[in-house]
Chain A
């Protein structure tokens, strides 16, 4: 890589061979990640955790969390993360109920289908979580809630 023009030439060839970054669709990006054996979910979760630490570092230094970082935390927030406020919890619960209702509405049994019965076997199945697992989950949940509480407090400030 001797000079700028060589760098530019390399980029030009790369764009010609593999397409311009501007034309990269999400579908194409996902395909590329799949070829490289990268899980998008794991990538987003890992990045979310790193960004949480980054935001925490800002707060530790008594600095404002940059708006872009806040937005990224919102966008990358895993669906499984606990709700940060009652309002959010209500919203998420309503959305879940609506999804279930939609799914039930869309589920049409054909006349030849056998009759279905609810089974209680799973309901009565003992949890496979050990007491130690539960303690770890509780601890992680508490840490996360504390973080989110602080974040919420910052947002209000």
Chain B
């Protein structure tokens, strides 16, 4: 199944990079209006195409998809930090007003109750999000618990612990990702 970058068609590579970028944004719950990162305005496609372009230009040396994944993740984190930095240093000029005419506490472009960026990028918040999203699905719940509570990482060892075939674990992996993405998109304000 693993495919070397040299053998991979660029169309396939682009689609895989975009899928990975979708995953990163879903993990960090960074979907805002229009399914773009709030305050930055980049979609998963934008992040993927940026890294893809840097690779084509020869600006980054990448040996495998895992390197790309890290590059996309780091790009998202850098943008988030930049945003958080701007957010704390700049005074809002366009503050939203509540029904009583008083200025609300958040910037206009950030939805209310959105956690600060640093809080969204930690293991705990990812775990909480994943647990919440599988709360009503017993099979996914036991899979998530095997990873988060038992610390199992490899599909074969998770399959062993749960007493199911490895193929079943791959099915659950895909289902979990779909759940997380759909949950993220559901939260996108229209």
| Chain A interface residues toward B at CB < 8 A | 1, 6-7, 9-26, 28-33, 35-38, 40, 43-44, 46-47, 50-51, 54, 66, 68-69, 71-72, 74-76
Contact = CB atoms under 8 A, between A and B. Distances in A.
B64 interface: yes
A36 B176 contact: no
11 contacts: A18-B177, A23-B2, A24-B65, A26-B12, A31-B178, A32-B177, A47-B49, A47-B52, A66-B56, A68-B55, A72-B10
B70 A18 contact: no
> What secondary structure prevails in chain B residues at the interface with A?
helix
A32 B23 contact: yes
A44 B177 CA distance: 23
B153 A16 contact: yes
Contacts of A22: 2, 64-66
B181 to A, nearest CB: 4
B170 interface: yes
Contact of B19 (A29, A44, A66, A71): A29
Contact of A38 (B10, B22, B81): B22
Contacts of B53: 50-51, 54
Interface residues of B, number: 59
Nearest to A25: B1
Interface string B1-34: 1100000011110111011101100110000000
B56 A19 contact: no
Given A22-B66, A31-B178, 16 more contacts: A9-B123, A11-B73, A15-B153, A17-B144, A18-B177, A22-B2, A30-B19, A35-B178, A35-B181, A36-B181, A43-B45, A47-B49, A51-B53, A54-B56, A68-B56, A75-B11
